[in-house]
Structures are given as C-alpha cells and as structure tokens.
Structure 1
Amino acid sequence: MSVVTTLNFGGRTEEAVEHYRAVLDAEVVMLMRFRECPNPSRIPAGCEEKIFHATFRIDGTDLMASDVGCDDPDQVSHFDGFAFAIRATSVQDAEQKFAGLASGGEVLMPLEETFFTRRYGMVQDRFGVKWKVTVE
C-alpha cells in the first residue's frame, strides 16, 4: 500500500505543475484535462481545459493534483497544516530551490545556517503550499 498526496489548486494546477517542473525538476507522469474525461456529463462548464488529474514526480516522490471544483467561484486554494520537505544536495541547490519556491510566495523563515544543517528555511509558494528546504 502507498499513500499519495493529492493537491487541489482550484483552477491553477497546470501553472503549479509547470512551476514545480521549472523549480524542482518535477517530472509530469500523467496529465488529463476535463475534456479528455470518458464521461462528458462530469465536465464542469467552462473547465474543459482545466486539469482533471495530474501525477507528477519530484525526486522519486509522486504527487497528484487536480482542478476539481474549478467551476465553483467560492473554491479557494488554501493549504494549511502540512508542508513538504526538500532535502537539497548542496547549499547552492538549497538556495536555488528556495528562491524558486519563494518567487511570488512568502518566506516564512529565511534560508540560513542552523545547529542541525548548513541551510534550513521555510517558504509558502505562490499557490499556498508550504515547503521546508534543508541541506542533506
């Protein structure tokens, strides 16, 4: 058994996946738009080009994402209560990933040397997802 985290970006899945591909070298494993769904009655009006399902991989970890609910104007993409942890291979790698995730987001704790690692910091990206970046 495995557990895979699914993220709902409320209409911004494609943008989020592309951002993670650029910043974290994410690999898109599968991407299906609503218009490609086998059951047309399940396609929300105006969401035909939105993402019904995406699976992407970051350094061996699979994540799923969707725009389910994109037809609801009150749908808010709000993440809280968890964070993804990234173990960078070097200080330079950590700085690059941290800067990319912070772009358009918010630094919660600056990336700096700590008693337990050469660099550690926390950031909330522009999609509301929290990330902890550390050096192995």
Structure 2
Amino acid sequence: MALRLVPYLMMNGDAAEAIRFYEQAFGAEVLFKQTFGEMPENPEFPLPAEAKGLISHAMLKVGETDLMFSDKFPGQPHQTGDQVTICISSDDKEKSKRIFEALQQGGQVKMPLQETFFSPSYGIVTDKFGVTFQIYTEDQK
C-alpha cells in the first residue's frame, strides 16, 4: 500500500508562469498539465470564460520529487502564504478515508471526501494546526 506526501502549490492565476519558472530553475520535467477548459464539462456548473485557460492541475518531476500545481478557481479567496498544501496520495480508498477522518478532528473540511472524475476518493481538509491537506486516492485501473 503506497503512501506519498507531495507539495501542492495553489497559485492565483499564474500557475502556468510558475511552472515555466520552476521548469527552468530546477531543470524539472512537466509530467502533466491540464486547464479548467480541458476538464470534462459539467452542465450544472458552466465554466466561466476567465477560468478556461487557468491550470486545474499540473505535475512536475523535480529530481526524485513530484511538485503539483493548480490555479485557484476565479472567486476563491487567495492569501499569500496559504498557497502551499500537502497532497497525500494513497492507492487505498479505506486508508484515504481513515487519514481524512483523523485530520478533520478539530479541523475544517474544505471539500468532503468523494469520488471525482480524477480520483475514486478525493477531499480537502485543514487540520487543527491550520495545515491544509488534499487527500488523493490513485485510480487502480
């Protein structure tokens, strides 16, 4: 059962620029990059035009380490210093659930643990110390 902790940078509309910068600074390799406009459409929540070119998710390989990125969705608050979260990546839904439930004790759920188009079990929680974690379960196809 694999478990990894990955730094996740939440940017304020400049994720593409940051990716190019870190790609050069670290000699990093872009493993994945997707904009909100490239995501599957949800007719219940039409995508605003200003969001289409923003990065919904990207991953760089920096040496032996992964570094993830996303732009905050338009309208979401952004405060400098809050843009770094930790993504906990697991290959087991039950382990993800146990971790999520433990972290939410005395904390605040930002997004309930749920199935998404990119993960069988994903959620966001800020623990009682103010550290925000994204719990991501890898799809075992």
TM-score (norm 1): 0.52
Partner of 2:81: 78
Q: 2:27 aligns with which of 21, 25, 28?
A: 25
Q: Which residue of 2 aligns with 1:43?
A: 47
In structure 1, the partner of 2:131 is none
Residue 79 of structure 1 deviates from its aligned partner by 4.7
Q: Which runs of 5+ in 1 are unaligned?
A: 83-136
Specify which of 42, 45, 61 is matched with residue 57 of structure 1: 61
CA pair 6-48 structure 1, distance change in 2 beyond 3 A: same
Equivalent runs, 1:1-136 vs 2, <5 Å: 1-40=3-42, 41=45, 43-69=47-73, 71-72=74-75, 74-79=77-82
Is the 8 Å Cα contact of residues 9 and 77 (structure 1) preserved in structure 2? no
- Percent of aligned positions that are identical: 28
- Partner amino acid, structure 1, of 2:58: A
- If each structure's strand is expressed as a fraction of its own residues, which one has the higher value? 2
Q: TM-score, normalised by structure 2?
A: 0.50
Structure 2 gaps of 5+ residues are 86-141
Which residue does 2:137 correspond to in 1? none
Contact 2:9 2:84 (8 Å CA) reproduced: no
